[in-house]
A and B are shown apart, each in its own frame.
Chain A
Amino acid sequence: MVYIFVGIAGILGALSRYYLGLSIGTLWHHDFPLATLLINLIGCFVLSWLTMYISRLNIVPPYFVTALGTGFVGSFTTFSTFSVETVKLIHSSHWAIALLYVLSSLWGGLFMSWLGFKIGDYFFKKRTQKQFIS
Chain B
Amino acid sequence: MIEHPFLLVGIGGFFGAIARFSFSNWMKKSYPSSFPIATLLINLIGAFLLGYIVGLDKTWQLLLGTGFMGAFTTFSTFKLETIQLYADKKWKILTIYLGISYTFGILLAFLGMKLGDIL
Contacts and interface: CB of A to CB of B under 8 A. Distances in A.
A77 B76 contact: yes
Contacts of A112: 79
B73 A14 contact: no
Contacts of A71: 17, 21
Interface stretch (A24-32, A83-91, A122-130): A83-91
Interface magnitude class on chain A? 35 or more
Contact of B80 (A3, A15, A47, A106): A47
B106 interface: yes
Interface residues of B, number: 53
Interface of B is mostly: helix
B75 A7 contact: no
B80 A75 contact: no
Contacts of B98: 106
A8 B112 CA distance: 29
Contacts of B62: 18
B6 A15 contact: yes
B76 to A, nearest CB: 4
A81 interface: yes
Nearest to A39: B75
A73 B105 CA distance: 20
Contact of A14 (B12, B77, B86, B105): B12
Given A47-B77, A83-B109, A113-B80, A75 B70 contact: yes
Contact of B46 (A9, A40, A66, A79): A79
Contacts of B67: 14, 18
Nearest to A8: B14
Given A80-B47, A80-B70, A83-B106, A109 B79 contact: yes
Lowest 9 CB-CB distances: which A-B pairs, in order? A10-B17, A14-B13, A75-B71, A83-B109, A80-B50, A83-B47, A77-B75, A43-B76, A79-B73
Given A80-B43, A114-B86, 13 more contacts: A9-B17, A10-B15, A44-B79, A47-B77, A70-B24, A74-B20, A75-B71, A80-B109, A81-B70, A83-B51, A86-B106, A110-B79, A113-B79
Interface of B: 5-6, 9-18, 20-22, 24, 43, 46-47, 49-51, 54, 62, 65-67, 69-80, 82-83, 86-87, 98, 101-102, 105-106, 108-110, 112-113
